[in-house]
A and B are shown apart, each in its own frame.
Chain A
Amino acid sequence: MAGSGRDERARVRGAQGGSVSDLEALFREHWPRAYRAAYLVVHDAAAAEDIAQESFLAAVRALDRFDRSRPFAPWLHRIVVNRAIDWSRARALRAEVAEGRAAEPAASPDMPDRARNPYSEPVGEALAALTPDHRAVIVLRYLLEYTPGEIATLLDLPRGTVNSRLRRGLDRLADVLEDTR
């Protein structure tokens, strides 16, 4: 897991003490995965930016109470993924997916060449076709590399539910990928 170990504890201690350079090191190290996790759950660049940014702000404001003996990343990822799931559910309630906003990445200025971007390749598209709950467990398992037990703790879910969502999510991915061949 990125960001673990003695160096990270030193950076957290430095940031708690007011060091901007330590804070920046933590930010630069953890931003990519935080943003990527949010993006892969919500599939909306603007929302992913909001979620990752607000999660960092929440973490910074709570920094002084953070237990330095614990790793920083799970703390941050829990905030990110739960917010991303909440956002996705809220969007589903507003029926925005039906309006085609789920395809927003295609309009992103950061994707000038869709064909060369892995997020627009079949596996990325297949992931986008899953429900937010299934996407979340797959992102936690394969991007952030948590064990099913850790994911269960993260999401306040029974471990069996996590395993079942992982299995169904992977099966669904396989089906979608099969259909795209």
Chain B
Amino acid sequence: MNERRLRELFDAPAPGEGEAGDRAWPLVRQAHAEREPAPSRRPLRRPVIGGVALAGAAAIAVIALTPPGEAFRGWVHDRVVGEPNAKPALARLPTGGQLLVLSPRGPWIVQADGSKRRLGSYAEASWSPRGKFVVVTSGPRLVAVTPGGTVRWSLSRPPRSADARWSPYPGYRIAYRVGDTLRVIGGNGLGDVLLARRVAPVPPAWLPRAFLHVLAYADARGRIHVVNTDTRRRLATWRLARPGPILQVAWSANGRLLAVRTATEIQIYGEIGRVSLLFRGIPAGAVLVRSLRGRFGPLEFAPRGEDFVAARRGRVLVVGARSGRARPVLTAAGSFSQTLWSPDGRWLLVAWPEADQWLFVRVRGTHRISAVSGIGREFNPGGGGRPGFPALAGWCCAAPGS
């Protein structure tokens, strides 16, 4: 009787089935249009690479031809092995700029010609806006170093400094966290000041292309704040449309949109600080313009416009933040951990820890994929044991120091 009830259950559409199909079809059609037919002479040698998409580990499975087995001979294994044509070492970056990479041994700078230098034994690192400095943290220390490794200044804020971010507006300001407080250090007599208490353990985000030092951050109660750090004036404060632990806050390159990533979705807010005020003294809020459900990895906005890139398990998507339109640019078995835009917005760097590879994907002009293997060892030379896979901390500035 249970079998009959099961069959009846299976005859009914599952929740979300139709809508999910409507969303999936355009992506499937696009993948079909962009696929690259396998060469007829060597059909079993190449990985499945489809124009902008790459299935890194496809191979035809050969199944014993038992009566039931024969029907399944055409199946494809999709196990993770990585891109087989990967270069064994990082020879050069496909376009200009410098990469900031965070390995278990500390941060590294990778130049466009592939040469690299370890900056020291620091725990975290991020670029200054034009790549002239790297701000690093290690325990209580907050340190500004040049890409050559020279320490310019440092301060100590026990017990531990973290998530330092440098303002893009001239007249330097660096926001950083100490425990659950948010502090800002800067020139022009600002010094080192406490900006907020009870903040979430999430890096703050400076408003790009601004004429003021404006910072967005999340507090421990799930609210977003946008503050002028010099005047302390609160420009906007709002609660998430759908609450959830906040993992990341990021501005679009044009500064018009703010993305908030939670464990289950990305929420895009606009009209920040422009919502009409009913009462003086109450900060304005923001308008939710789009949300994308799913467990996304860290997102990064493109150097121009309102597109962002993020990985969702084995798929890298370039998403129009306002439209919500997602364009898959890379797909493979396994999952990708991080994605970065090149400074010119023409390439993406995709980290693939399971394959110990980086994939450089050209997303403007002719699509190309260039893979480099052995990334863990690359940033742990001479190290013993299994090297940890490094994190990507930023790809900066075609003309460093400008």
B16 touching A57, Cβ below 8 Å: no
Chain B residues with CB under 8 Å of A110's CB are: 15-17, 19
Which of these, A15, A58, A105, A150, contacts B58 with CB under 8 Å? A58
Q: Select from chain A the residue with minimum beta-carbon distance to B57.
A: A58
| B22 to chain A: closest residue by CB | A31
> What sequence of 0s and 1s flags, for each residue 18-32 of chain B, a beta carbon within 8 Å of any chain A beta carbon?
011101110111011
Q: Give the contacts of A13-50 with B (CB-CB under 8 A).
A: 15-16, 18, 20, 23-24, 27-28, 31-32, 35-36, 39-40, 45-46, 48-50
Chain B residues within an 8 Å CB radius of A53: 20, 23-24, 27-28
Main secondary structure of the interface of A (DSSP, over half): helix
B387 within 8 A of A: no
Q: Are B9 and A127 in contact (CB under 8 A)?
A: yes
Q: Are B35 and A105 neighbours in the complex by a CB distance under 8 Å?
A: no
Q: Is A79 an interface residue (CB 8 A)?
A: yes
Is A63 a contact of B32 with CB atoms below 8 Å?
Answer: yes
Q: Which residue of A lies closest to B43 (CB)?
A: A65
A16 neighbours in B (Cβ, 8 Å): 37
Beta-carbon contact of B312 and A50 below 8 Å: yes
With A57-B331, A149-B68 as given contacts, are A66 and B15 in contact (CB-CB < 8 Å)?
A: no
Within 8 A of A (CB), among B53-94: 53, 55, 58, 60, 63, 66-69, 71-76, 78
Contact partners of A161 in chain B: CB under 8 A: none
Would you call A52 an interface residue if the criterion is a C-beta within 8 Å of the partner chain's C-beta atoms? yes
* Distance, CA A63 to CA B66, complexed state (A): 24
Contact of B74 among A28, A31, A64, A67 (CB under 8 A): A67
Closest B residue, CB atoms, query A149: B68
For chain B, residues 258 to 306, give those with C-beta under 8 angstroms from any C-beta of chain A.
Answer: 264, 293-294
Q: Please give, as numbers and ranges, the residues of chain B lying within 8 Å of A48 by CB-CB distance.
A: 14, 16, 20
| B331 proximity list for chain A (CB < 8 A) | 54, 57-58, 61
CB distance from B333 to the nearest CB of A (A): 8
Query: Which residues from chain B contact A109 at a C-beta distance below 8 Å?
Result: 16
Known pairs A23-B29, A48-B16, A105-B15; A78 contacts B9 (CB<8 A): no
Q: List 23 A-B contacts (CB under 8 A).
A: A23-B28, A32-B17, A39-B14, A40-B14, A45-B15, A49-B16, A58-B48, A58-B333, A59-B76, A61-B53, A61-B331, A64-B37, A65-B38, A65-B43, A66-B76, A75-B75, A79-B75, A82-B78, A108-B16, A118-B9, A121-B9, A150-B68, A153-B68
Q: Does chain A have a CB within 8 A of B374?
A: no
Question: Is the C-beta of B225 less than 8 angstroms from some C-beta in chain A?
Answer: no
Q: A57-B331, A153-B63 are in contact. List 15 more A-B contacts (CB 8 A).
A: A18-B32, A32-B17, A39-B14, A45-B20, A54-B331, A56-B24, A57-B31, A61-B35, A61-B50, A61-B58, A79-B76, A110-B17, A118-B12, A123-B6, A150-B68
Whether the Cβ atoms of A123 and B9 lie closer than 8 Å is yes
Select one of A117, A138, A153 contacting B72, CB under 8 A.
A153
B7 CB–A CB distance under 8 Å: yes
Cα of A24 to Cα of B66 in the assembled complex, Å: 32
Interface membership of A143, Cβ < 8 A: yes
Complex contact A52–B24 (CB within 8 A): yes
In this complex, the interface size class of chain B, counting residues with CB under 8 Å from chain A, is: 35 or more
Complex CA distance for A71 and B27, rounded to whole angstroms: 23
Output the least CB separation between B73 and chain A (Å).
6
Tell me whether B315 is interfacial, beta carbon within 8 Å: yes
CA A72 – CA B157 in complex, angstroms?
Answer: 62
In this complex, which of A40, A62, A108, A121 has the most chain B Cβ atoms within 10 angstroms of its Cβ?
A62
Interface string of B164-183 (1 = CB under 8 A from A): 00000000000000000000
State which of A32, A62, A118, A147 has its C-beta within 8 Å of the C-beta of B21.
A32
Query: Are B29 and A149 in contact, CB atoms less than 8 angstroms apart?
Result: no
Given known A70-B71, A153-B63, contact A58–B16 (CB-CB < 8 A): no
Residues of B near A70 (CB, < 8 A) are: 71-74
Note all chain B residues with C-beta closer than 8 A to A105: 15
- Kindly name the residue among B33, B48, B75 whose own CB sees the greatest number of chain A CB atoms within 10 A: B75
- Please name all residues of chain A whose beta carbon is closer than 8 Å to the beta carbon of B37 when the two chains form the complex: 16, 64
- Are the C-beta atoms of B2 and A123 separated by less than 8 Å? yes
A20 touches B29 (CB 8 A): yes
Q: What are the residues of chain B within 8 A of A124 when measuring CB–CB? A: 9
Decide if B13 is an interface residue (CB 8 Å cutoff). yes
- Cβ–Cβ contact B73 & A154, under 8 A: no
Is B10 positioned at the interface, with any CB of A under 8 Å from its CB? Answer: yes
Task: List residues of chain A with CB within 8 A of the CB of B315.
Answer: 54, 57
User: B294 to A50, Cβ gap below 8 A?
Assistant: yes
Establish whether residues A62 and B6, one from each chain, have CB atoms under 8 Å apart when the complex forms. no
B15 contacts A118, C-beta separation under 8 Å = no
Assess whether B38 is in contact with A64, with CB atoms less than 8 Å apart: yes
CB pair A142–B68 under 8 Å, yes or no, is: no
Using Cβ atoms and an 8 Å threshold, which residues of chain A touch B328?
57
Cα distance A150–B259 in the bound complex, in angstroms: 46
**Inter-chain contact B293/A54, CB cutoff 8 Å:** no
A12–B315 CA distance with the chains assembled, in angstroms = 25
